[in-house]
Amino acid sequence: MPYKRPGLDDELTIAPEDYGELEGDILGVSKNWRIIATMNVFDKNLLFEMSYALMRRFAFIEVPSPPDEDFKALLEDWSAGDNLSLEVAKSLYRLRKVRDLGPALFRDAIEFSRKRADEAPIEKPDLILECFYSFFLPQFEGADEPEGKELYKTIAAEVGQVQRAELRRVLRAVLGVSDFRVAPVAEPEAESTSIADDVDAE
> What is the end-to-end Cα distance of the chain in Å, rounded?
54
Residue 159 in domain: yes
Domain total of the chain: 1
Tell me whether residue 101 is exposed, middle or buried, using C-beta atoms within 10 angstroms of its C-beta: 0 to 12, 13 to 18, 19 or more: buried
| Contacting residues for 83 by C-beta, under 8 A, at least 6 apart | 193
Task: Identify the pLDDT of residue 45.
Answer: 63
Q: Mind listing the pLDDT tens digit for each residue in 2-43?
A: 678 888 888 888 888 777 777 888 888 888 888 787 776 666
Residue 8 in domain: no
**Percent residues over pLDDT 90 in the chain:** 41
- Domain of 107 in residue numbering reads as 68-200
Query: H helices of 37-123, where?
Result: 52-55, 68-79, 83-93, 103-119
Answering whether pTM is above 0.75, one says no
How far is residue 160's CA from residue 60's CA, in Å, rounded to a whole number?
Answer: 43
Q: Mind listing the pLDDT tens digit for each residue in 174-197?
A: 888 887 775 455 555 544 333 433
